[in-house]
Amino acid sequence: MSRKFVVVDLETTGNTYEKGDRIIQISAVTIENYQIVDQFTSFVNPGISVPPFIEELTGIHDDMIKDAPTFSEIADEIYGLLADSIFVAHNVPFDLGFLQGELGAAGYRNCVTESIDTVELSKVLMPMSTSYKLSDMSEMLGFEHENPHQADSDALVTSELLLFLIENIRQLPLITIEKLTDLAHHLKSNIALLLHSIIQEKRMKLEDLPEALEVHRGIALRKKFQPDTVDNNESVEYPSSMEEKQKLLTSFVNGYEKREGQMQMMDTVYKAFVGEKHAVIEAGTGIGKSLGYLIPALYYAVKHHQSVIISTYTVQMQDQLLYNEIRRLKDIIPFPFRVSVLKGRSNYLNMLKFEQSLTDRDHSYDNVLTKMQILVWLIQTETGDMDEVNFSSGGKHYKERMKHDGWFLQKEKDPWISRDFYMHARHLALQSEIVITNHSMLLVDIEQERNLLPDSQFIIIDEAHNFIKAASKSLGKKIEFNAFKFLINNIGTFDKNQLFAKIEQIIQHHNIVPKVSTSQFDNLILRLDAEVDDFFMLLSKWIIKSERKLSQNVAKHQVRFTEEMRQERDWQSVLMCAERTLDFHKQIRLGLEDRLELIKEQKEIPITERAFVEEANSFMLEWLTLGAKIKDFMLTPNIQEVVWMEGDTRTLPNSIGLYSEPENPGGFLKEHFFSDKKSVVMTSATLTVDHSFKYFLQEVGLNNYSLMQTIIPSPFAYDKMAKLMIPTDLPEVRHTKTEEYIEAISGHLAAIASVTDGRMLVLFTSYDMLRKTYNLMKDSGALDEFIMLAQGVTSGSRTRLTKSFQQFNKAILFGTSSFWEGVDIPGKDLTCLVIVRLPFSPPNEPIIAARNEAIKKRGKNPFSEHSLPEAVIRFKQGFGRLIRTETDRGVVIVMDRRIDTSSYGQAFLQSLPNVPIERGPLKEIISTIEKWL
C-alpha cells in the first residue's frame, strides 16, 4: 500500500466536543512506504481552563497553553496533512470526532474518508492481549513511551504500534489473511484495505508455511504439541537437608536468601504425601508458597509414578504457576517432568462449529470481530482454551455457541477429531506428573462423576480460603429471568429463523416427519414465553411485599424460600405457574429430542448439518439443566439447600434471579472428596483465627479428622514496615445513621488523603456505602486534585481499576467484595489502607441466615461459631493488601471503633502480625502518618 498514513493523537479538556470540550494538544505522525517520515505537534489554546483531572492525567496546565495558537490558526496546516491520507488513531471515533468538530468550526469540510483504528486492529491481531490501552500495549511491546497522555508521545507510539501490527499481518499465512479480509468489510474502520494490499504483496511470491503451523480444512492452526516421553527415575531423592534445599533454590533465584519458612513448607507437603495424610498450611506473605509446594510435589510425583493435581481459585494464579514458576523450575530440577493445565470441556473451542460459523451470513460487529480474533489465535494457541482470548462483552455470546460440549453424533465422523483441543488437553493431562486445574473444575468433576481429571490421590489446593466458596458455587444453581428468556429466543418460533427454524430446514431436507408438528411446536414456544413472564411477575410481588415489610432502602432485595413461605396461600399460585412452565418446557424438550434423534438416524449427514446438530445438542444440554433447576427450586426442594430469589425493585421482573446453595458444603466435601483421596494439602496466607485452624476445618468438613496442621509466619518485619491506626473521634457504627456515618468517614478520608498524597485503598463491606461515600467526596470538591476510582462506579474491571490507580500519583481507590483479596499493589503506589467497617456478612443474607439457624439448632452460638471467624479471616485478607514485598511500607487505618469497644475486637487484633497500634483523634493520627511516611 503506497498510500500515506497520518497517525493522530489529541489531548482534550474532556470526552465530548458537543458538550464544549476542546483540543489542548495535537500531534500527527506521517508514515510513507511503511516508514515514519515526519511529525507535527502543537499545543492549542482551547479558550477554557484545563480541568484538574486532565492536568493530573496529561501534565498539561493553563500556563503551557495560554500563548499557544487557537485551533482555527493551525486548521489549514492540519487540513493539508490529512488530505489524501488514511487517518489512523488509537480509538478513531474519539480523535476523529474532535477533529471534525474543530475543522468544521474553522470552516473546513471533512477530508477523512478512510481510517484505521489501532484499537480494532490490535484486537484482531493480538487476541490474547490482556489490555488494549495504549500505555499497557507500549509497555508490553517494549516501545519507548516518554510521556503517556501527551499527544506527541502517544502519536509516536501509535505509529510504532501500527507498523508493528502491519508486520504482524505479513507474518500470517496467506489463507488466514484471505479469511480475515472477507470478514473485515464489516468492521468499523477500513482494515480490509490494509489486508487486501498485503494479500497482493504475498501473492507475488511463493510462501512456505512455518514448521509449527498446518492447514486443515482451509484453516491455518498451530500443530499440537506432543510432550517428550519421560522415564520416571525411582532414584530421584527429595532434598531433605537444609543444605540440599538451599543449593536447589539458589539456582532458582539469583541472590537467594534462605527462607526457613519455605523449606519448612516443602517438608510438610512431602511428609503429607509420603504419610498419605491430609494437611493444612497457613503460609504468610513472603514465604514463597508456590515453590514451597511445587518442588515437593514434583519430587513425589516422579519418584512414585503418581500424578499430583494442583488446584487454584484464580486464573492469575494458574498463569503464574505455569508461565513463571514451572518454566523456571524446568531449568533447575535435575530430572525431566511434564506439566499440563486441564479445564472443563466448555472452555475449549469446538473446531467443527467454528469452521461452519465462518460460512454464516452473520455480519453483526461483535461476531465478525470475534471470528477474526479466533482465526489469528488459532495460529498462536497450543491449548484451544478460549479463556486465552480477550473477547468483547458482545463476543462472549458467540464464544458460548462455539464451546465444546462433547459429541451427539458419532465423534469418529467429526473431521476435526484428530485435532480436537479438548481431547488433546485430556491426553496431555493423563501423561503429566503435575496437572494444574481450578477449584470449580475439581469440584464439578467430583460432584458429577465425570472423571475428566486424572485419577490422582494427591492434591494441593492453593488459595484454599476460597475452597468452600467455590464448593458452594459449584454445588449451587441459578435461574435468571433474562437468561431464561434468552434461551427461549434462541429456539425462536419458525418465522424467527433461529434454532427451531434451522432444525425444521434439516428435517424437511431429509423428509423426516416428527411427532410434534411445526405449528404445534410454535404454539408451545409462545405459551412457554407467556408463562415465564407470568411466573416471574408473581415472584416480583413477593419481592415487593418483603421490601415493604422490612423497609430496607437497598436496590437489590433478597427473599429466602422458607417452609413458612411455602405454606402461605399466595404461594400456591406461584407453584401452579411453575408447574405449567415446567410442562411446556418438557414438551419443547421432547419435541427437540425427537427431531435430533431422527436426524441422527440418517445415513448421510452433510458437514454443515453436522456442525449445526452439535450446536443444537449443546443447546439441549442447557435446556435439560434448566428444567431440572425449575423442578428443584419450586417443586422438589431439598432441605439441605438454601433457596432464595433476588431482584432490583426498580427493574422487576427483568432483574429477578433464583439461586440455591448447600447449607453445609463441608458435609459433601468430607464424604465425596476428602474420604476418597490419600492426601489433600490445603494452603493459603489466611486460614487461621487466633492461631487455630478450627473454623476452616469445620467449614470444609474436616473438624474430626486427624491431619497435619502447620502455621508458617511471614518473614517480613511488620513491626518496622506497618502501623495500625484506630481513630477515636469517629462515631460508633452501630449507633449512628448510615448518612451521618458516611459524612464522618468522608471527612476523615479527605484529611488522610491530603497527608498520604492519595496512594490509598479504601475497603468497604457494602457497595451502597461505597457509592454514597464516593459521591459525597466527589461533590464536596475537597479532593479535586485527586483521581478517585470506585468499583462499580468508575467503569472498568478490578484489574483495570488497579492499573489506573497505579498510573496516577494522587489516586484513591474505593473497593468492596473482591478488593479484599487478590489485589496486588506493591511498592509506593499503595502506602495507606483504610478499612471502613469490620467485614461481617449481613445476617439477613439467605445463606448466612440459614447457617445461623442450623447452628442454633445444634445448640451453638452463630456469632462465635461462624460470623466472627469468617469476618476475622476476611479482615486478615484485607490487611494483607498493604505489605506485598519486603520493601513495602505503610499504614492501615481501621475506622470501625468496634475493634476497640466490643468484646470481640481483640479477635481481629490478635489475628494480625506483630504491628504497632496507635489510637487517638484524627489530628494526632495525621501527625503520626506524616512522620511515619
Distances (CA, A) of 479 to 570, 656, 811: 21, 9, 39
Domain check: are 876 and 728 in the same one?
A: yes
Asked if pLDDT for residue 20 goes beyond 70, the answer is yes
397 vs 527: which has the higher pLDDT: 527
Residues 6 or more apart from 808 whose CB is under 8 A from it? 56, 57, 758, 787
E strand intervals along 319-439:
339-341, 434-438
Which residues span the domain enclosing 602?
480-662
Stated as kind and residue range, the H or E segment containing 917 is strand 917-920
The distance of Cα 865 from the centroid of its chain, to the nearest Å, equals 32
Q: The C-alpha cell of 202 is what?
A: 504475498
| Residue 288 marked as a ligand binder | yes
Give the pLDDT band (50/70/90) at residue 231: low
Q: 665 in helix, strand or coil?
A: helix
Instruction: State the pLDDT at residue 343.
Output: 87
| Residue 287 marked as a ligand binder | yes
- Single out the residue of 897, 851, 899, 855 nearest to residue 875, CA to CA: 899
Domain check: are 12 and 140 in the same one?
A: yes
Question: What is the C-alpha to C-alpha distance for residues 419 and 224, in angstroms, rounded to an integer?
Answer: 7
Q: Which of 148, 176, 208 is the last residue of a domain?
A: 208
- 49 is a domain residue: yes
Instruction: State the pLDDT at residue 467.
Output: 95
- 430 is a domain residue: no
Domain check: are 657 and 727 in the same one?
A: no
Question: What is the C-alpha to C-alpha distance for residues 643 and 636, in angstroms, rounded to an integer?
Answer: 12
Instruction: State the pLDDT at residue 2.
Output: 65
| Residue 688 marked as a ligand binder | no
Decide if 828 contacts 721 (C-beta within 8 A). Answer: no
- Single out the residue of 64, 77, 105, 55 nearest to residue 8, CA to CA: 77
Q: Which of 177, 208, 239 is the last residue of a domain?
A: 208
Q: 156 in helix, strand or coil?
A: helix
Span 451-488, pLDDT tens digits: 678 888 999 999 999 999 999 999 999 999 999 999 99
DSSP bridge partners of 310: 436, 460
| Residue 488 marked as a ligand binder | no
Answer left, alpha or beta for residue 480, where phi above 0 means left and psi between -120 and 50 means alpha: beta
Instruction: State the pLDDT at residue 449.
Output: 61
Average pLDDT over the chain reads: 91
Instruction: Give me the DSSP letters along 759-791.
Output: -EEEE-S-HHHHHHHHHHHHHH-TTTTSEEEET
**Angle of CA points 347, 352, 358, to nearest 5°:** 100
Q: The C-alpha cell of 456 is what?
A: 490422582
Give the pLDDT band (50/70/90) at residue 136: confident
Residue with cell 489433600: 680
Instruction: State the pLDDT at residue 722.
Output: 94
Question: What is the C-alpha to C-alpha distance for residues 715 and 699, in angstroms, rounded to an integer?
Answer: 28
Number of Cβ atoms within 10 Å of the Cβ of 265: 25
Number of structural domains in the chain: 3
Mean pLDDT over 659-676 rounds to 92
When mean pLDDT is compared across 81-85, 206-210, 265-269, the lowest value belongs to 206-210
Decide if 421 contacts 383 (C-beta within 8 A). Answer: yes
Domain check: are 638 and 744 in the same one?
A: no
Domain check: are 52 and 167 in the same one?
A: yes
Q: The C-alpha cell of 103 is what?
A: 475543522
- 546 is a domain residue: yes
Span 793-836, pLDDT tens digits: 887 778 888 888 888 888 999 999 888 987 888 888 899 999 99
Domain check: are 806 and 891 in the same one?
A: yes
Instruction: State the pLDDT at residue 255.
Output: 60
Question: What is the C-alpha to C-alpha distance for residues 628 and 589, in angstroms, rounded to an integer?
Answer: 12
Asked if pLDDT for residue 304 goes beyond 60, the answer is yes
- 406 is a domain residue: no
Domain check: are 523 and 628 in the same one?
A: yes
Instruction: State the pLDDT at residue 813.
Output: 94
Question: What is the C-alpha to C-alpha distance for residues 908 and 872, in angstroms, rounded to an integer?
Answer: 5
Residues, the chain, total? 933
Instruction: State the pLDDT at residue 775.
Output: 93
Give the pLDDT band (50/70/90) at residue 232: low
Domain check: are 609 and 727 in the same one?
A: no
Give the pLDDT band (50/70/90) at residue 254: low
Span 341-352, pLDDT tens digits: 988 888 999 999
| Residue 920 marked as a ligand binder | no
Q: The C-alpha cell of 608 is what?
A: 454443515
Give the pLDDT band (50/70/90) at residue 782: confident
Question: What is the C-alpha to C-alpha distance for residues 179 and 898, in angstroms, rounded to an integer?
Answer: 64
Show contacts of 381-384: CB within 8 Å, 24+ apart: 381/128, 381/222, 382/222, 382/224, 382/225, 383/341, 383/348, 383/421, 383/425, 384/348, 384/349, 384/351, 384/421, 384/422, 384/424, 384/425
Domain check: are 782 and 924 in the same one?
A: yes
Distances (CA, A) of 357 to 183, 609, 621: 12, 12, 20
| Residue 286 marked as a ligand binder | yes
CATH number reported for the structural domain that contains residue 188 in this entry: 3.30.420.10
When mean pLDDT is compared across 29-43, 49-63, 738-752, the lowest value belongs to 49-63
Domain check: are 791 and 894 in the same one?
A: yes
- 384 is a domain residue: no
Domain check: are 52 and 131 in the same one?
A: yes
CATH number reported for the structural domain that contains residue 726 in this entry: 3.40.50.300
Span 707-765, pLDDT tens digits: 999 999 999 999 999 999 999 999 988 888 888 999 999 999 999 998 998 899 999 99
- 410 is a domain residue: no
- 357 is a domain residue: no
Inter-axis angle of helices 439-447 and 467-475, to 10 degrees?
50
Domain check: are 43 and 141 in the same one?
A: yes
| Residue 599 marked as a ligand binder | no
DSSP bridge partners of 87: 6, 115
Instruction: State the pLDDT at residue 489.
Output: 94
Asked if pLDDT for residue 256 goes beyond 70, the answer is no
> At residue 302, what is the residue type?
V
Q: Which of 662, 681, 702 is the last residue of a domain?
A: 662
Mean pLDDT over 376-405 rounds to 92
- 704 is a domain residue: no
Instruction: State the pLDDT at residue 446.
Output: 80
| Residue 752 marked as a ligand binder | no
Question: What is the C-alpha to C-alpha distance for residues 497 and 489, in angstroms, rounded to an integer?
Answer: 10
R_g over Cα of the chain: 30
